[in-house]
Structure 1
Amino acid sequence: MALAFVVTLLAGLSTVVGGWLGTHTRVLRRDVLAAALAFAAGVMITISVVEIAPGAVTDLSDHLGETEALLWVGGALVLGALAVLGIDKAIPHDINPAEIAGGEQLDRINAGEVNPRLLRSGVLLAAVVGLHNLPEGLATFISTLERPSGGITLAVAIAIHNVPEGLAVAAPIYAATRSKLQALFWATLSGLAEPVGAVLGYLLLSAVLPDRWLVLTLALVAGMMLAVSFLELLPSARRYETHYSQTLVGFLLGAVVMVLSLQLLQLSPAQG
């Protein structure tokens, strides 16, 4: 559990990297961000479909039978996706990181088109990103508890995804105040929502579900990751891209890396 918390904390604090970039925006390139976001989507979709959901069905089949296990896991997938969709819909369109973290915003900031009144927007966006990070923290925490190597791989994907969110928080605050300290503070605060959401979510689910049903939390996590990938990562990658191949190659590379890593995990016990 300590390892799961540390992994989740480090994934959340990757917003600090984005915050630093938000005060050095010319370091960023749109094509690199597009490929990185698509890579994260490829990893998260693949681990959800190939590893987490089938594993949950297998574990639950021991208690319920295969057909009923499929129904319960399918329901948990849908519930997880709806939870992320509900959060996304509750956030106003003009401050939703899934909507504004695109190439157009980056171009405007790089061009020096700033407004002193951006401070309020930046602080509000920090709160929104924090809310957005709650299900991702739960996903990383539970996945690391179940299989540390898989959870760490997922944490890397979520960390990549958190970098542009940290940028989205820090850039307007830095533009308004010219204070790197303030910009980094709010970017860091938004990332800390991940370990907080992980612990609170896990304690809540543990209190509600019997031990043998805790495997459903994995399916819930898979649904969350699928929703984050399709609602946020891939659309954001498309907004950053300067050519469609950047998103396509990044996504395929993420999927291939995830499949290969899963294969290596299956081979390692036999070799040991």
Structure 2
Amino acid sequence: MISVSDGQVYTAFAVTLFAGLATVVGGGLVLFLKKPNFRLLAFGLAFAAGAMIYVSLTEILNKSIASFSLDFDEKTGFAFGTFAFLLGVILVLLLDRFVPNPHDTIETHSAKGVSSPQLLRTGMLTLFAISAHNLPEGLATFFATLESPALGAPLAVAIAIHNVPEGVAIALPVYMATGRKDYALWASLVSGLAEPLGAALGYFILAPYMSETVYGLIFGVIGGVMVYLALDELLPTAKRYSEGHETVYGLVSGMAALASSLVIFKFIQ
């Protein structure tokens, strides 16, 4: 069994909470900004996608393989790590199939011709769907930080960027339906808290069974989940908001920023 200190657990929860609360930032944008900058949003979403893809394929997957290899031989560890990665893709694909994540975020919600009850229902359904998708993201952030803050921190930043437009998607219809700023902010907050909830559930369920094999399984699944989210949610949404090359610039910038941060952490550790 792998032992971790209370300090490591608290740090991991704090980082996960930071990422989750970014949905409140999105809720605030609905209330205080008249017109969002869609090109900046496209760049930010693609930036987050680039960071998530890079860290998943270069760090998280490798940690999965390394963990499996400590309990098995190198070839078996590589095979198990690869299969765990694919399992993560399949699991989030099934989640997306049965609980579709709304990809509309800002401009697709219009008050014209839509009644307040319909808007409120849209907001509540969006809240439920996004909260369900935030559970595995919280688990990913928590265990990545638990293993290494140098790995978890940049991943948390990428997920936080991803959570901002999700907060917009929740808060906008609620605000339009009720006219209450506090209701809109509370709705975005509830969705964000799903991430530390996912971390807590995962930790308390898996803590008694922590071993190198379990770590390998967790990191493999996390890697698959992150890559799927980046390719299926972030990049298509970024492309929809883009007016030029913001998606490509953001993708490359996200990879470069994540790679640079990992190099820096290697030298200061």
**How much identity, in percent, do the aligned residues show?**
42
CA distance in 2, matches of 1:66, 1:113: 61
Aligned counterpart in structure 2 of residue 100 of structure 1, from 85, 98, 104: 104
Tell whether 2:131 aligns with 1:130: yes
Query: What is the CA-CA distance between 1:202 and the residue it aligns to?
Result: 2.5
Question: Relative to structure 2, which stretch is displaced further, 2-11 or 117-126?
Answer: 117-126
CA distance in 1, matches of 2:260, 2:242: 26
In structure 2, relative to structure 1, the CA distance for the partners of 1:174 and 1:113 (3 Å cut) is farther
User: Conserved in 2, the CA contact under 8 Å of 1:19 and 1:170?
Assistant: yes
Alignment of 1:7-46 (within 5 A): 7-46=15-54
SS state of the match for residue 28, structure 1?
coil
Question: Relative to structure 2, which stretch is displaced further, 41-50 or 58-67?
Answer: 58-67
Query: What is the CA-CA distance between 1:27 and the residue it aligns to?
Result: 4.3
Which AA in structure 2 matches 1:156? Answer: V
TM-score, structure 2 as length reference: 0.91
SS state of the match for residue 26, structure 1?
coil
CA-based RMSD: 1.7
CA distance in 2, matches of 1:256, 1:100: 28
Aligned counterpart in structure 2 of residue 84 of structure 1, from 71, 92, 100: 92
CA distance in 1, matches of 2:78, 2:260: 26
- Residue 141 of structure 1: aligned partner: 142
Query: What is the CA-CA distance between 1:149 and the residue it aligns to?
Result: 2.2
SS state of the match for residue 243, structure 2?
coil
Gaps of 5+ in 1: none
Alignment of 1:156-167 (within 5 A): 156-167=157-168
- Residue 260 of structure 1: aligned partner: 260
CA distance in 2, matches of 1:242, 1:221: 32
Aligned pair count reads 259
- Residue 6 of structure 2: aligned partner: none
- Residue 187 of structure 1: aligned partner: 188
User: Conserved in 2, the CA contact under 8 Å of 1:44 and 1:157?
Assistant: yes
Cα deviation, 1:196-255, whole Å, max 9, x if unaligned, reads 011112333344x55121222111111111111111111111111122x10000000000
Alignment of 1:43-122 (within 5 A): 43-92=51-100, 96-97=101-102, 99-101=103-105, 104-105=107-108, 108=110, 115-117=115-117, 118-122=119-123
Tell whether 2:215 aligns with 1:215: yes
Cα deviation, 1:31-78, whole Å, max 9, x if unaligned, reads 011000000001111001111111221232232111100111111111
Question: Relative to structure 2, which stretch is displaced further, 118-127 or 163-172?
Answer: 118-127
Which AA in structure 1 matches 2:232? Answer: L
CA distance in 1, matches of 2:184, 2:67: 45
Cα deviation, 1:134-174, whole Å, max 9, x if unaligned, reads 01000000000000122111111100000000000000011
User: Conserved in 2, the CA contact under 8 Å of 1:7 and 1:141?
Assistant: yes
CA distance in 1, matches of 2:193, 2:224: 22
CA distance in 1, matches of 2:165, 2:174: 15
User: Conserved in 2, the CA contact under 8 Å of 1:114 and 1:175?
Assistant: no
Which AA in structure 1 matches 2:161? Answer: I
In structure 2, relative to structure 1, the CA distance for the partners of 1:114 and 1:23 (3 Å cut) is farther
